[in-house]
Amino acid sequence: MITTDHLAIPYTGGTQDISGVPSEAELTRLANLYLENEFVQVPAQTPSYSPAVLSQTEASQIREINVNTYGPGENVTNSTSAGNAGKAGVGGQKGNDSIVIGSKTLEQIRQDFPILEETVNNHPLIWMDNGATTQRPRAVIDRLTYYYEHENSNVHRGAHTLAARSTDAYEAARQTVADFLGAPSKDDIIFVRGTTEGINLVAQSFVKPRLNPGDEIIVSLLEHHANIVPWQLVAQETGAVIRVIPVDESGQLILPEYAKLFNERTKFVSVTHVSNVLGTITPVAELISIAHAHGIPVLVDGAQSVAHIPVNVSALDADFYVFSGHKIYAPTGIGALYGRKEYLEEAKPYHGGGNMIADVTFERTIYNPAPNKFEAGTGSIGDAVALGAALDYLTGIGMSEISRYEHELVSYGMRELAKIDGLHLIGTATEKSSALSFVLDGHTIDEVGQYLDKWGIAVRTGHHCAQPILRHYGLEGVVRPTLALYNTPEDVDTLVRAVRSIH
C-alpha cells in the first residue's frame, strides 16, 4: 500500500489553518498522483496572514511608519554618480564627503553606522574585522526595534493582527532576499541561522541521500571549515570521498585541474565564491558551467561575497547559494539559502517539527513544500525582517557601485601594504575582495593584532577557520584586515602607518 510518508505536495495555501487539509482517502489519491509525477495541488486555503486581516487604516499606518523608518532617499536605486568612487581617487587625496558610492557619499554611509562613532583605546574605531562580522546601519537597528515595538508575534499561526503583521514582514523579507539574489521565487529562499547551517542542510537533506560508497564531492582548497566539515560528516556516513580543487600561487583556483576531477562517481560540487582568508574571487560561473556539463549540481558559499559583489543566482545558474546575515550588515543568527526549485522538492526535510507540516498523524506526516519544509520550529523572525532591511539599505545605495568602490579600496590597500619591508601579503589573485591578509617578519600575528588594537584598529588574527589553505602556504595563521562599504582610504592609511610603526 502506498503511504503518504515523506510526501511533499505542492501547496498554495497558508500553513496555519489545517481545516482545509484533505481527507486520508484524498491524501492517498494525491500520493498516487504524485508518484506518477502528475501535478497535484492541495485545495487552496486562505492564508491566516493575508493582508486582508489588517484593516486598511492599520495597513497604511504600517506602510507610513516603515517609510519613515527607512528615511527619504534610501530608496534611490540608481545614481548618475556610478564610478565616482574611482574618480574620487581612493588613496587618501579626498575627504569622505567627496567620495560618492551610488546614491550616497562615503561620509553619509559612515553616519548610517552608529558604532563607527566609538573610540577604542582613545582612537576612533577602525573596523576591519568585516570578514568575521559587519557592523549594522541605523536602518537595520531601527527595523529590529520597530519589529519588537509594533509587530512581534509568531508567524503562520493565529488569526490576530500581530500574527498578520509579523508574517507579512517575514514573508516580505523573504521576497527581498529573493530579489536581492535574483532568485526566481521567494519560495526558493529558506531562512537559516547562517552559512554553516545552510551548507549542513544541503549536505544532509539533498546530497547525502544521493550518495553511495565511493561517490565523490568536490570542494576547493580555499574553503572555510563550514564548507569542509559538513561534507566530511556525510562522507563518513556514506563512504563517499572528498576531492579538492588546487590553487595557484596567487590563491586562485586552477580551472583545468578542476575540470579533471570529474568522473562518473562525482555527485556534487560545493565551492566558495570568495575566500575568507585570501579574498580570492573564484570563477563561480565557469565552475558551475563545467559542473553542469557533467550534470552535477553546485552549491556556492556566498558568506564572503554577498556583501561585496552583486550576485544573481539565476544568471550564475547556481543550484544552491547560501549566506549569513551578519556578514551583510544584518543581525547574527539569520541567513538565507537559495535552492533550485526541483532540488528543494527532491530534498528531504532537515529538521522535523511545527511549521513544516501540512498534516500529521501518528502514522505519517505530510510536509509543506519549500520553503516551509525546511523551516521547522520558530525561526529568528525579527532578525529575518532586519535582514530584509539590510538588503534594502544596500540596494538603495547600489551593489554595483559598492563593489566598484570596495575593489578600488582593496587594490589601494594591497599596493600600500606591499610597500612595507618584511610584510608578506597572503593571497594576491587579480580578482580579490575585502581581505588584506599578511604576515610580518619578526612579529607574531598576535603581536600585530594586539598592537593594531591599541590604534583602535580591529583586525582578526589566527587561522580564520580555513586551516587547509593556510597550511598550503606553510602558515598556521595570518593577520587579516577585511574591508567593507564604510572603510575609507584614510582607514587604510592609518593601518599602513600603524603596521610600519611596529618596527
SS3 category, 170: helix
280 in contact with ligand PLP (CB under 6 A): no
Stretch that binds ligand PLP, among 89-97, 301-309, 391-399, 452-460 (CB under 6 A): 301-309
Name the minimum Å distance from CB 381 to ligand PLP. 19
Catalytic residue among 132, 255, 360, 465: 465
Distance from the first to the final alpha carbon of the chain? 78
Name the minimum Å distance from CB 425 to ligand PLP. 19
301 in contact with ligand PLP (CB under 6 A): yes
Q: Residue 143: CB partners within 8 Å, gap ≥ 6?
A: 69, 385, 386, 388, 389
Stretch that binds ligand PLP, among 73-81, 141-149, 190-198, 416-424 (CB under 6 A): 190-198
Map residues 87-126 to x or -, x wherever contact with ligand PLP holds by CB under 6 A.
----------------------------------------
Name the minimum Å distance from CB 361 to ligand PLP. 36
DSSP 432: B
SS3 category, 453: helix
226 in contact with ligand PLP (CB under 6 A): yes
Among 15, 205, 220, 324, binds ligand PLP (CB under 6 A): 324
Q: Directed axis angle between helix 381-397 and helix 399-418, to 10°?
A: 80
CB nearer ligand PLP, residue 141 or residue 465: 465
Name the minimum Å distance from CB 128 to ligand PLP. 15
CB nearer ligand PLP, residue 194 or residue 369: 194
Among 176, 204, 252, 304, binds ligand PLP (CB under 6 A): 304
Which cell numbers in the block locate residue 252?
586562485
482 in contact with ligand PLP (CB under 6 A): no
Of 396, 404, 394, the residue nearest 88 (C-alpha):
404
194 in contact with ligand PLP (CB under 6 A): yes
Which cell numbers in the block locate residue 471?
597550511
251 in contact with ligand PLP (CB under 6 A): no
Of 405, 485, 490, 404, the residue nearest 91 (C-alpha):
490
Stretch that binds ligand PLP, among 32-40, 69-77, 180-188, 297-305 (CB under 6 A): 297-305
3-state SS string over 206-238?
Answer: HHHHHCCCCCEEEEECCCCHHHCHHHHHHHHHH
What's the Cα-to-Cα distance from 394 to each of 79, 314, 400, 431, rounded to whole Å? 13, 20, 10, 22
Alpha-carbon dihedral of residues 8, 266, 244, 283, nearest 10 degrees?
-70
Residues 494 and 459 sit within 8 Å (Cβ to Cβ)? no
Per the annotation, the verdict on 465 as an active-site residue is yes
270 in contact with ligand PLP (CB under 6 A): no
CB nearer ligand PLP, residue 104 or residue 432: 432
461 in contact with ligand PLP (CB under 6 A): no
CB nearer ligand PLP, residue 91 or residue 333: 333
SS3 category, 186: helix
Stretch that binds ligand PLP, among 1-9, 101-109, 300-308, 364-372 (CB under 6 A): 300-308
Pick out residues in 348-387 that bind ligand PLP (CB under 6 A).
none
CB nearer ligand PLP, residue 92 or residue 333: 333
Which cell numbers in the block locate residue 180?
536581492
Residues 276 and 466 sit within 8 Å (Cβ to Cβ)? yes
Among 16, 105, 176, 196, binds ligand PLP (CB under 6 A): 196
Among 195, 220, 368, 494, binds ligand PLP (CB under 6 A): 195
Name the minimum Å distance from CB 275 to ligand PLP. 7
Which cell numbers in the block locate residue 293?
556539463
Taking the C-alpha atoms of residue 391 and residue 381, their distance in angstroms, rounded to an integer, is 16
CB nearer ligand PLP, residue 226 or residue 457: 226
Name the minimum Å distance from CB 222 to ligand PLP. 8
272 in contact with ligand PLP (CB under 6 A): yes
Which cell numbers in the block locate residue 64?
507610513
Stretch that binds ligand PLP, among 27-35, 220-228, 416-424, 484-492 (CB under 6 A): 220-228
Which alpha helices (DSSP H) does 71-160 contain, by range?
84-87, 106-111, 138-146
DSSP string, 289-301: HHHHHTT--EEEE
423 sits in which H/E element: strand 423-425
Contact residues for ligand PLP, defined by CB under 6 A: 194-196, 224, 226-227, 272, 276, 301, 303-304, 324
Catalytic residues: 465
